[in-house]
Amino acid sequence: MILKKWDIPLNADDILRGQGVEPTIIHTRRPALLEYAEWALGESLPLLEPVVLAEFKDVMEIRHERLVLSNGGYLTGKLLVQHLMKAKRIAIILCTIGSQLETISNQLFQTDPMYALALEGAGTAAVETLANQACRYYEDWAASKGWKTSIPLSPGMVGWPVETGQAQIFNLIDASQAGVSMNNNYMMTPRMSLTQILGFGEEMDIQGRTCDYCNLKETCRYQDHYAIP
Ligand code: SF4
């Protein structure tokens, strides 16, 4: 399933967070960075090409650390088994904002690196916002069936290494439908793309928040900002 009609409501503070800086500090101490973020906001919104690809699979059984899926696919990993033990179905989700924004920011790095960084921040914020919106969309779908939804599980979280998770996800979906490819180092093109798994079922045991399983949780300042559990 491909969905393309997404509204990405960004503001300048989202772009600053996407650059890894704290907006309240920038407002008082580095107003020039805020100006770049505001310029980037106007430039970046028309360049976004949001696409969400979702592939649904039934969970047939769980053996040791392996989820056996309908059509013979599988996923492995301690994190997945912990969160998807009671899932009836999963969605394998790929979100991308396309390549236009990163093409322009790549071109600008030589001549205007501050502006290029602001555009990068806009792209990061946009793909995270898109992923959150996709989660909410599928949570609402699950709730309409009386099902609960797991936290979003992405390659790179504690208990699911990037090289394991990304390879498994790309085996289960046709990412080319969303215009995305992956190289031998598990990097996606366009770069501003993100993958995640959601599990659904009546008896789901929801454990913690995504941040609890993130490798950055000891240092990340944005844990209260993102509303997804
Ligand atoms: S700790 Fe939470 S907000 Fe920070 S990067 Fe990880 S998932 Fe995102």
Asked whether residue 18 carries a pLDDT value surpassing 80, the answer given is yes
Asked whether residue 127 carries a pLDDT value surpassing 70, the answer given is yes
Closest CA to 126 of 210, 204, 15, 3: 15
Q: Which of 153, 214, 228 to mutate to test the pocket of ligand 1 (most atoms within 8 A of CB)?
A: 214
Alpha-carbon torsion, ordered 10, 16, 18, 20, to 10 deg: -160
- Rounded to the nearest angstrom, the distance between the alpha carbon of 65 and the centre of ligand 1 is 25
- Rounded to the nearest angstrom, the distance between the alpha carbon of 211 and the centre of ligand 1 is 5
Q: Would the CB of 215 count as within 6 Å of ligand 1?
A: no
2-3 and 51-63 as β-strands: parallel, antiparallel, unpaired?
Answer: antiparallel
pLDDT at 222: 73
Asked whether residue 224 carries a pLDDT value surpassing 50, the answer given is yes
In the chain, the percentage of residues whose pLDDT exceeds 90 is 75
Asked whether residue 220 carries a pLDDT value surpassing 80, the answer given is no
- Rounded to the nearest angstrom, the distance between the alpha carbon of 219 and the centre of ligand 1 is 9
CA distance 105 to 102: 5
Residue closest by Cα to atom 2 of ligand 1: 211
Report pLDDT digits (tens) over 155-202.
Answer: 999 999 999 999 999 999 999 999 999 999 999 999 999 999 999 999
pLDDT-derived band at 226, boundaries 50, 70, 90: low
pLDDT-derived band at 229, boundaries 50, 70, 90: very low
Buried b (16+ CB within 10 A) or exposed e, 106-142: eebeeeeeebbbbbbbbbbbbbbbbbebbbeebbeeb
In the chain, the percentage of residues whose pLDDT exceeds 70 is 97
Asked whether residue 131 carries a pLDDT value surpassing 90, the answer given is yes
| Terminal-to-terminal C-alpha distance of the chain | 24
pLDDT at 49: 96
pLDDT at 191: 96
Report pLDDT digits (tens) over 36-90.
Answer: 999 999 999 999 999 999 999 999 998 888 999 998 899 999 899 999 999 999 9
- Rounded to the nearest angstrom, the distance between the alpha carbon of 151 and the centre of ligand 1 is 13
Q: Would the CB of 211 count as within 6 Å of ligand 1?
A: yes
